[in-house]
Amino acid sequence: MEILNRRLLGAVTIRLLILPALLCLSGCDYLNFWERQKILENSFQNKPRLEILRELSPESCLAIAGKLVLNRAFDGPLLVVAVSDRYQTREIVASRNLSPPLLYYSLFLPEGNYDLYFFADLNRDGFFAGDELVGRTKSGHSIAMTEKNAEDNTLVIGPEIQIDVDHPTTSDLPVHARVMVQSNKYESLDDDFFDPHYGTMGLYRPTEFMAHTQGAFFQLEDYDRNKTMIIFVHGVEGTPRDWKYFVDGLDRKRFQPWFFYYPSGLPLERLGNFLAYYIINMDKTPGYGINRLVIVAHSMGGLVARSAIDRLCRDGKPSYLKMSISLSSPYGGVEAARAGLQTAPVMVSSWCDVATDSPFLENIYRTALPKDLPFHLFFGYRNRSGESSDGTITLRSQLDTRIQMEAIRIYGYDTTHVGILNDESVRRAFYGILETAAP
């Protein structure tokens, strides 16, 4: 309940100048978000459950991740289920399908104490069942999910879990869940998996988005560490499909595109930490390892990438990190978002972070980018309204003095905020820059 007391729902009056601005951003999506938050708040007050709190306050959730140790090779997926007694006895708070290779588990949960259960579809009927329990946390040793126990206030390192697929037991949980075999490799960015409506879902309904993606890193081909790895980071309400024009002309013999597909409504520092953890984990995972990495980001993704780089370079720049590139990012913040903090009935967490002079923006400039990390800054300036902007982000924000000082080169184009991702001259310049990080 203490989280709800800090929320803005119903606590402020809508001012006529701000609500229309928010509606212009996403139309009816904001109104639906506002109404949904009120419904969730009422549901939680009437009958508290962590499952509801997870949807209501995803910005307050933490990630947990740990290693899996299998008794033998197993090519089927697993289901991990998080259970808590905080509000209801044996409440199933969240679950997630884990696809091969079964090396790690992870979940996104509100603060609390949890037991984890792991199920396998041993009879191959397409469902996980309660009598197919193959692993769990030790009885009486619940995991404490608190910010105090979390690295960077983001990630709780969970215990190593032993998985025994040869000796299943029966659980008292009412588990009957359909198997979802989720791949992290897709043939094309035109796949429905990357449809733009999922970007809107990620902004307003992060937990539903994560149920869709079941992960955050995606690729178009098998991993080849001999190629330069490029991680593309989309912007607010975006998906990896936003990068299609850049990827279509990429020299795939030397460069390999990967995509950080994330819910853009979460706090930006946590998203940056998630990105950094994925990169660090991939470099340490058997069969992977990173030789050369370039991080490319658009719009708000530039702030996520900047935060991730700060985390990656905390103990010195990794030798594999070769370059960072951003396009049309609000490095100086968004003034409308700052006004919305005082006037809107409810705010998405990422909007709070992009607000001009936000604590997040102040924090990312406390540590300079490593001097041996080339950073290229692209901006657009086409706007029919006459304001100095790309139609979405002001030039003052795109070219914040603090970020200009970190760029080795700045590129300006007569294009819009979205148009910069579909501009041939921008793409040619981008490919030229990549040559310095080619194998």
Predicted local distance difference test score (pLDDT) of residue 13: 29
Predicted local distance difference test score (pLDDT) of residue 167: 98
Predicted local distance difference test score (pLDDT) of residue 199: 98
In the chain, the amino acid numbered 244 is K
- What would the mean pLDDT of 269-287 be, rounded to a whole number? 95
CA distance 262 to 206: 9
CA distance 120 to 126: 10
| Predicted confidence (pLDDT) at residue 10 exceeds the cutoff of 60 | no
| Sequential DSSP letters for 336-382 | HHHHHHHH-SS--HHHHHHBTT-HHHHHHTSSPPPTTS-EEEEEE--
φ and ψ at residue 305, rounded to 5 degrees? -65, -40
- What would the mean pLDDT of 104-128 be, rounded to a whole number? 98
pLDDT digits (tens, 9 = 90+) for 24-60: 545 688 889 999 999 999 999 999 999 999 999 999 9
Cβ-in-10-Å burial (0-12, 13-18, 19+) of 21 comes to middle
Do residues 214 and 99 make contact, with C-beta atoms less than 8 angstroms apart? yes
Q: In the chain, what are the domain boundaries?
A: 4-58, 60-178, 192-437
- Residues near 167 by beta carbon (within 8 Å), at least 6 away in sequence: none
The tokens 């604590």 sit on which residue?
359
With 0.85 as the threshold, say if the pTM is over it. yes
Do residues 312 and 280 make contact, with C-beta atoms less than 8 angstroms apart? yes
DSSP state, residue 162: E
- H runs (alpha helix) in 168-327: 196-204, 206-213, 244-248, 268-284, 301-312
Predicted local distance difference test score (pLDDT) of residue 270: 97
Predicted local distance difference test score (pLDDT) of residue 438: 96
In the chain, the amino acid numbered 361 is L
CATH class of 192-437: alpha beta
pLDDT digits (tens, 9 = 90+) for 257-272: 999 999 999 999 999 9
Q: Give the range among 171-175, 335-339, 412-416, 429-433 with minimum mean pLDDT.
A: 335-339
What does the longest C-alpha to C-alpha distance in the chain come to? 70
- What would the mean pLDDT of 64-88 be, rounded to a whole number? 96
| Predicted confidence (pLDDT) at residue 21 exceeds the cutoff of 90 | no
Predicted local distance difference test score (pLDDT) of residue 118: 99
DSSP state, residue 314: T
φ and ψ at residue 17, rounded to 5 degrees? -85, -25
- Residues near 339 by beta carbon (within 8 Å), at least 6 away in sequence: 17, 18, 21
- What would the mean pLDDT of 404-417 be, rounded to a whole number? 98
Under CATH, which architecture does the 60-178 domain have? Sandwich (2.60)
| N-to-C CA span, the chain | 53
- List C-alpha distances in Å: 316 to 304, 311, 368, 371, 373: 19, 10, 12, 11, 11
Fold agreement between 60-178 and 192-437 = no
CA distance 31 to 261: 25
| Predicted confidence (pLDDT) at residue 169 exceeds the cutoff of 90 | yes
- What would the mean pLDDT of 337-358 be, rounded to a whole number? 91
Do residues 51 and 92 make contact, with C-beta atoms less than 8 angstroms apart? yes
The larger pLDDT score, comparing residue 100 to residue 171, is at 171
Do residues 338 and 332 make contact, with C-beta atoms less than 8 angstroms apart? no
pLDDT band at 343 (very low <50, low <70, confident <90, very high): confident
Question: Which pair of tokens denotes residue 60?
Answer: 């307050």
The tokens 């490095």 sit on which residue?
331
Angle formed at CA 96 by CA 175 and CA 266, multiple of 5 degrees: 135
Do residues 290 and 279 make contact, with C-beta atoms less than 8 angstroms apart? yes
- H runs (alpha helix) in 214-367: 244-248, 268-284, 301-312, 335-343, 349-354, 359-364
Question: Which pair of tokens denotes residue 395?
Answer: 């030039």
Percentage of the chain beyond pLDDT 90 is 86
pLDDT digits (tens, 9 = 90+) for 291-331: 999 999 999 999 999 999 999 999 999 999 999 999 999 99
Predicted local distance difference test score (pLDDT) of residue 26: 53
Predicted local distance difference test score (pLDDT) of residue 261: 99
Using alpha carbons, select from 356, 317, 319, 361 the residue that is nearest to residue 339.
Answer: 356
Parallel, antiparallel or unpaired: strands 78-84 and 91-98:
antiparallel
Question: Which pair of tokens denotes residue 274?
Answer: 């998630």
pLDDT digits (tens, 9 = 90+) for 198-244: 999 999 999 999 999 999 999 999 999 999 999 999 999 999 999 99
Predicted local distance difference test score (pLDDT) of residue 342: 83
* Mean of pLDDT over the chain: 93
Question: Which pair of tokens denotes residue 349?
Answer: 């967490």
Predicted local distance difference test score (pLDDT) of residue 181: 80
pLDDT band at 400 (very low <50, low <70, confident <90, very high): very high
Would you call 257 helix, strand, or coil by DSSP? Answer: strand
Predicted local distance difference test score (pLDDT) of residue 348: 92
CA distance 341 to 346: 8
Using alpha carbons, select from 365, 368, 358 the residue that is nearest to residue 335.
Answer: 358
Do residues 307 and 337 make contact, with C-beta atoms less than 8 angstroms apart? no
